[in-house]
Chain A
Amino acid sequence: MPDNDIDLIKRRLAREKAARLQAEAILEKKALALYNANNQLQHLNDHLEQQVRDKLGELEQSEQRYRQLIESVQDIIYKISPRGYFTFVSPVVEKSLGYTEAEFVGTHFTRFVDDDYRKPLTDFYLAMMTEGQDSTYNEFPIRSKDGRHVWIGQTVRPITVDGQIVELVAVARDVSDRKLAEQELAKARQVAEEAQRAEKQFLTNMSHEIRTPLNAIIGMSHLLFDTQPTRQQREYIDILKTSADFLHSLISDLLDMTKIEAGRIEVSPRPFDLAGLLRATQKVFEIKLHNRPVTIDVMHDARISGDFIGDDVMLNQILMNLIGNAEKFTEEGSIQITARIVQEDDNRCWIEFSVTDTGVGIPEDKQGLIFKKFRQVNPQGHKYKGTGLGLAITKELVEIQEGTISVRSQNGQGSTFTFKLPYVRATATTDNRDAGNPVLKTVGKLPVSHVMVVEDNLMNQTYIGSLLTKWKIPFTLASDGKKAVEEAKQQRFDMILMDIQMPIMDGYEATVAIRSTHNPNQHIPIIALTASAMLDHKSLAMEVGMNDFLTKPFEPSQLLNILERYAPTAASEAAPRKTDPSVKPKPTLPADDVLDRQRLFELYGSDKEHAAEMFATFLDDVVPELLQLPDLCTDQNWSMLASMAHKLKPTLGMVGLSRLEDELRQIERSLGQNADKEPLVQRCQALVEEVTDLLPVLRNEIKTLSPKA
């Protein structure tokens, strides 16, 4: 090997050795750096591990606390997957249901629920899953391990992650005790209601059982009067009737009071003609008082006109009680009924009614007692009979309607009962009275041609039958509701008198059947013959579509009044009466043949003074107006003629000129019908002539009535 080659190798070796040393030095340095870095890393790692340990410890603690919490809570907390498998159940479950946690977790909920509840519970969970409701409560029974039914009440809440419901969390508790209590309560309530129903049924039956024979006694005593009894017999019948009447009112009052106390009387408001109700009430008592020196007057505020919404049945009852009371304690004098509006705003109209009598009065120290039950405050003791319930019932009836009642009285000077009730004025459109409700008729003659009497009781059949026969009104008898409905399909009646309590089909059902099916009597008046004075029966009667009611036992005059009121108007009569104006009535007819005596008696009874006054007014004020009618015809002032006819029509009735009143009604109607006006001129002329011819008869009547005569 040449020298320079050896030198070259030597140099190369030297270089490589130097490079190795250099590299080693660098590596040494790097190794140290690496060692340090490692150390640091180790340190960091330790620190990190500690942190993780700490966090884990905290987590464990919080988990433990959370578990303790869950365990200490008596409620069962569970989680359930969207598919219905339990994913967590708090251990307390074992205590209340007997299953261990392990038996729950991973099991589908339907395993613990009876068949009946599977579907509703599945639906419940599904709704929670899909509808995203926040939290919902439900109750259902679960079967415990030992087979008991445990009622669970639970609040369930969905758990969402990124808007997706991932599971449901529920807090559930055993509500079996409460459920049991509820069930028992429901059972108890049912028993109580049953008892109440039974009691009510008993009362109704009792009332019927007692009243049916009583009605017969009262009815028969009325009929006995028509058998020409001797004076002594008449006296006995009188006592018989009075006692039966008393017994009847005693029973009615007792039953009413029982009902009021049981809270079973409810106010049923409907539109009614308040002024008309006052007039009707007056009339009932006028008839009752016809041979006693007691007059009855009604005065009402002119603003009381048109319909008011309220409970007319109750108002009627209150007035009947108060006026009945007044009448009982007034030997001679007057009973005055007033009604006035004391306060009216948009919603309500407060009407104050008063019933004043000139009777014996009530001593001041007793005035506080009169509205109390079973208190009679009359000085003459047994002379005035009563149950002692009438005023207490009246007070209740006023208060049920949110009204107030008070009394003012001076011993020996008479008493004034004042009560205030709220009503609502009916607007024209709220007048939803039955279409079949006929116009109130005040005419005395009875154009009733055929009545159906629906009554199961033989005695009552006889009583009503005799009365109708006496008044020459044909009638058909039906002995129960079903027969009545069949009869109603066969022929048309003018009116149906319908008993309520009957076998097979009662009066309410029969009315509903007649009103709701197509038959010739669908819209004719149906009058309830309530076997009781009980208010709820009357309300129900009106609700099912009856037009009015008559409480048994009734006086013949009460039935007559009803027949009059609901008799068909001439409009509904098929053939209009033909009047031949050329045939004039004889002006020389005796007054009894011209004047409607029955009507006059009903209007004035024995009050001759009042009657005389009315006759005088007629002659002075009405006749001059009547005489203008033919002129209005000639002038063709039809609207004026119509309003005059309307105004004057009732005044003819007031002086017993019922036939002329009818004639004027026909004239008025023809005017409304847009018919040929030509015959009207003649009819008015004829009417005026007839009135003129009758003037002497009327003047003579005043003379007969005047006390000086």
Chain B
Amino acid sequence: MKGIVFTELLEMVEDQYGYALVDTILDQSNLPSGGIYTAIGTYDHAEMVTLLHSLSQHTTTPVHELLRAYGRYMFGSFTRNYYQFIERSTSAFSLLNSIQHYIHVEVRKLYPDAELPHFAMEQPSENHLKMYYQSERKLSDFAYGLIEGCLAHYGETATIRKTELTADGSQVLFDIVKD
């Protein structure tokens, strides 16, 4: 998993809870990387799972909520760091539609070892979008937050219904209907 995912998470924790909590979870988690992350590095996905569990205990917030909040936070950071990918779209749906065939494609060019999800898209009508998420990393709540962040960025509101298609959470449907 790319280092940016770790550094941004820790950034968010520091913003919301202060560096002390960051220090605590890094210290207690006994991580192979020793808790040393740089945005351009690549680290084991398992470390992310460990960090999230630790964070959940200390903040008494469920992991899925943490991930969703992190998704929203992450989209904000994408708009700063990857502005060129976002400015091409003029609406939330158009951006969401472009992840699979454009954004993540470009991401893989930047980071050949990136581990990215697969999205299958369906648009029954102008205001209705269906996103089928599929990934072994089971980070659908992160995706949930990213979608929310995306809508907020374009100043749009929508009702998002999340349906787990498999018990392990590796396949999830987001049914998004704009208000």
Interface contact B36-A19, CB-CB below 8 Å: yes
Interface size (B, Cβ < 8 Å)? Answer: 13
Pick the most buried of B23, B35, B36, B39: most chain A CB atoms within 10 A of its CB.
B36
With A15-B26, A23-B41 given, is the CB distance from A8 to B36 under 8 Å?
Answer: no
Cα(A22)–Cα(B20), bound, Å: 23
Q: Is A52 an interface residue (CB 8 A)?
A: no
- Interfacial chain A residues near B17, Cβ < 8 Å: none
- Residues of A7-45 at the interface with B, using a CB-CB cut-off of 8 Å, are 8, 11-12, 15, 18-20, 22-23, 26-27, 30
Cβ of B34 < 8 Å from any Cβ of A? yes
CB within 8 Å for A18 and B34 given contacts A23-B40, A26-B40, A27-B40:
yes
Q: Is B19 engaged at the interface, CB distance under 8 Å to the other chain?
A: yes
The answer on a CB contact under 8 Å between B40 and A15 is no
Q: Is the CB of A26 within 8 A of B38?
A: yes
Chain A contacts for B41, CB-based, 8 A: 22-23, 26
Asked whether any CB of chain A lies closer than 8 Å to the CB of B37, the reply is yes
Shortest distance from the beta carbon of B108 to any chain A beta carbon, whole Å: 16
Q: Are B23 and A22 in contact (CB under 8 A)?
A: no
**Cα of A418 to Cα of B20 in the assembled complex, Å:** 146
**A15 and B35 in contact (CB under 8 A), knowing A8-B19, A8-B20, A8-B23?**
yes
Which residues on B sit within 8 Å (CB–CB) of A30? 40
Q: Is the CB of B19 within 8 A of A19?
A: no
A18 B36 Cβ-Cβ under 8 A: yes
Contact assessment for B38 and A23 in the assembled complex, using a CB-CB cutoff below 8 Å: yes
Are A19 and B40 interface neighbours, CB within 8 A?
Answer: no
Q: How far is the CB of A430 from chain B (nearest CB, A)?
A: 88
Contact with A along B18-37 (1 / 0, CB 8 A): 01100100110000001111
Closest to B42 in A: A26
* A678-709 at interface with B (beta carbon < 8 Å): none
A684 CA / B27 CA spacing, docked (Å): 162
CB distance from A382 to the nearest CB of B (A): 125
A15 to B35, CA, bound (A): 8
A27 to B40: give the CA distance in the assembly, Å. Answer: 8
CB < 8 Å: which of A12, A19, A23 contacts B23? A12
In the assembled complex, which residues on chain A have CB atoms less than 8 Å from the CB atom of B26? 15
Question: Total A-B pairs in contact (CB under 8 Å)?
Answer: 28
* Across-interface contacts of A23 in B (CB, < 8 A): 38-41
B21: shortest Cβ distance to chain A, in Å?
Answer: 11
B34: chain A residues within 8 A (beta carbon): 18
A20: B residues at CB distance < 8 A: 38
Q: How far is the CB of B120 from chain A (nearest CB, A)?
A: 34
| Cβ-closest chain A residue relative to B24 | A8
Q: How distant is the Cα of A11 from the Cα of B39 in the complex, in angstroms?
A: 19
Interface mask (B22-66 → A, CB under 8 Å = 1, otherwise 0)? 010011000000111111110000000000000000000000000
Contact residues of B between 89 and 108, Cβ < 8 Å to A: none
Q: How far is the CB of B9 from chain A (nearest CB, A)?
A: 14
Segment 442-459 of A: residues with Cβ below 8 Å from B:
none
Residues of chain A contacted by B36 (CB below 8 angstroms): 15, 18-19, 22
From DSSP, what is the main secondary structure of chain B's interface residues? loop
Q: How far is the CA of A184 from the CA of B21 in the complex (A)?
A: 116
Q: Are A12 and B37 in contact (CB under 8 A)?
A: no
The residues of B that contact A18 with a CB separation of less than 8 Å are: 34, 36
CA–CA, A19 and B37, complex, Å: 6
Bound: A480/B9 CA distance, A: 133
* B23 engages A11 (CB within 8 Å): yes
Q: How far is the CB of A672 from chain B (nearest CB, A)?
A: 104
Bound-state Cα–Cα, A649 to B160, Å: 129
Neighbouring B residues of A15 by C-beta, 8 Å: 26, 35-36
Q: Nearest chain A CB to B37's CB is how many angstroms away?
A: 6
Q: Which chain B residue shows the least CB distance to A12?
A: B19
Q: How far is the CB of A525 from chain B (nearest CB, A)?
A: 105
CB–CB B38/A22 < 8 A: yes
CB distance from A30 to the nearest CB of B (A): 8
Cα–Cα distance between A26 and B39 once the two chains are bound (Å): 11
Report chain B residues within 8 Å CB of A12.
19, 23
Bound Cα distance A23, B42 (Å): 11
Docked complex Cα distance between A30 and B110 (Å): 12
A30–B41 Cα gap in the complex (Å)? 11
Interface residues as binary, A654-695 with B (CB distance below 8 Å gives 1, 0 otherwise): 000000000000000000000000000000000000000000
| Chain A residues with CB below 8 A from B39, complex form | 23
B148 CB to closest chain A CB, in angstroms?
A: 30
CB contacts under 8 Å to A, within B135-155, are none
Give A209 to B24 CA distance when docked, in angstroms: 150
Closest to B36 in A: A18
Instruction: Name the residue of chain A whose CB is nearest to the CB of B38.
Output: A23
Q: Which of A247-289 contact B (CB under 8 A)?
A: none
Q: State in angstroms the CA–CA spacing of A22 and B37 once bound together.
A: 8
Chain A proximity of B156: nearest CB distance (Å): 37
Alpha-carbon distance between A15 and B39 when the two chains are bound, in angstroms: 14
Q: How far is it, in angstroms, between the C-alpha of A12 and the C-alpha of B21 when the chains are bound?
A: 12
Instruction: Find chain A residues with CB under 8 A from B40 CB.
Output: 23, 26-27, 30
Residues of B within 8 A of A11 (CB): 23, 27
Q: How far is the CA of A291 from the CA of B19 in the complex (A)?
A: 165
A8 to B26, CA, bound (A): 12
Contacts of A8 in B (CB 8 A): 19-20, 23
> Nearest B residue to A14 by beta-carbon distance?
B36
Q: Kindly report which residue of chain B lies nearest to residue A23, judged by CB atoms.
A: B38
Q: How far is the CB of A630 from chain B (nearest CB, A)?
A: 121
In angstroms, how far is the closest chain B Cβ from the Cβ of A20?
8
Among B20, B26, B27, B38, find the residue whose CB has the most chain A CB atoms closer than 10 A. Answer: B38
Is there an interface contact between A19 and B38, defined as CB atoms closer than 8 Å?
Answer: yes
Residues of chain A from 383 to 418 with CB closer than 8 A to chain B in the complex: none
Please, how many angstroms separate the alpha-carbon atoms of A26 and B4 in the complex? 14
Report the nearest A residue to B10, measured CB to CB: A15
CB-nearest residue of chain B to A17: B36
Could you tell me the distance between the alpha carbons of A15 and B37 in the complex, rounded to whole angstroms?
8
Nearest-Cβ distance from residue B76 to partner chain A, whole angstroms:
22
B27 partner residues in chain A, CB cutoff 8 A: 11
What separation, in Å, do the CA atoms of A472 and B20 have in the docked complex? 164
Find the A residue at minimum CB distance from B33.
A22
Question: For residue A22, which residues in chain B have a CB less than 8 angstroms away from its CB?
Answer: 36, 38, 41
Cα A23 to Cα B37 with chains together (Å): 9
In the complex the two chains form, what is the Cα distance from A26 to B38 in whole Å? 9
Q: Which residue of the partner chain B has the closest CB to A22?
A: B38
CB distance from A321 to the nearest CB of B (A): 108
Q: Which chain B residue lies CB-closest to A8?
A: B23
Q: Which A-chain residue is minimally distant from B26 (CB atoms)?
A: A15
Instruction: Name the distance in Å between B133's Cβ and chain A's nearest Cβ.
Output: 30
The answer for the CA separation of A22 and B34 in the assembled complex, in Å, is: 12
What is the chain B residue whose CB lies nearest that of A26? B40
Q: Which of A11, A20, A27 neighbours the largest number of chain B CB atoms within 10 Å of its CB? A: A11
Q: Chain B contacts of A19 at CB under 8 A?
A: 36-38
A23 and B19 alpha carbons, distance in the complex (Å): 21
Whole-angstrom CA separation of A308 from B10 in the bound complex: 125
Of all chain A residues, which has the CB nearest B34?
Answer: A18
Cβ distance B113 to chain A, nearest Cβ, rounded Å = 12
CA distance A23 to B43 in the complex (A): 13
Q: Which residues of A contact B23 (CB under 8 A)?
A: 8, 11-12
Among residues of A, the one whose C-beta sits closest to the C-beta of B18 is A8
With CB as the reference atom, state the residue of chain A lying closest to B14: A12
Complex contacts, B35 vs chain A, CB 8 Å: 15
A30 and B19 alpha carbons, distance in the complex (Å): 31
User: In the bound complex, how far is the Cα of B4 from the Cα of A19, in angstroms?
Assistant: 12
Q: Known A-B contacts: A15-B26, A18-B34, A18-B36. Give 11 more (CB < 8 A).
A: A8-B19, A11-B27, A12-B19, A15-B36, A19-B36, A22-B38, A23-B38, A23-B40, A26-B40, A26-B41, A27-B40
A-side residues, CB < 8 A to B, are 8, 11-12, 15, 18-20, 22-23, 26-27, 30
10 contacts between A and B (CB under 8 A): A8-B20, A15-B35, A15-B36, A18-B36, A19-B36, A19-B37, A19-B38, A20-B38, A27-B40, A30-B40
B residues sitting closer than 8 Å to A (CB atoms) are 19-20, 23, 26-27, 34-41
Which 8 residue pairs are nearest across A and B when measured between Cβ atoms?
A: A23-B38, A18-B36, A19-B38, A19-B36, A22-B38, A26-B40, A8-B23, A15-B36
